[in-house]
Amino acid sequence: MNEVLPFIAIAFSGVTLLVLVGEKTFGGGNALAAKFHTLDKETTEAIAQVRKELNLRIDEYERVVTVGFEAVRANIHAMQIGLLEFRVKIAEELHAYIRKDDYNAGINEVKRDVQHGFRSVDDRLGQLQDLIMYANSDSRPTPPNVRIKAGDG
């Protein structure tokens, strides 16, 4: 029996070797395919989850940006309305107020007109004084150099 024991051990080892080689050759490939299938399925699910989260974030950012753009648009519209009202107000006030240089030019023109008017009055009063003195004098000297306009008479 001592002689058969080594053969049984070798036969048992050979069968175990064949089972291991067969499992690795045929069964191991199926296990590897199953692992790849599981990996593919998990990766696909993870990508779908990331895509879903990314789309949700993008949608949220779009909503926030849309609200921001609407607020900016409303502010620009309000500024345009304010500027139009300001233009109308300034246009109305420009008719009520005179610029300083225009005011000074107008005042100088009025002063010139008043001075010219006073000179004309002084000249005319001087002529009238000469006429009165001529009319009241007993001896009638030659009339002074007076120009009497037609209708002043």
- SS3 per residue for the chain: CCCHHHHHHHHHHHHHHHHHHHHHHHHHHHHHHHHHHHHHHHHHHHHHHHHHHHHHHHHHHHHHHHHHHHHHHHHHHHHHHHHHHHHHHHHHHHHHCCCHHHHHHHHHHHHHHHHHHHHHHHHHHHHHHHHHHHHHCCCCCCCCCCCCCCCCC
Q: Which of 8-12, 66-70, 145-149 has the lowest mean pLDDT?
A: 145-149
pTM exceeds cut of 0.85: no
pLDDT digits (tens, 9 = 90+) for 44-76: 999 999 999 999 999 998 888 888 889 999 999
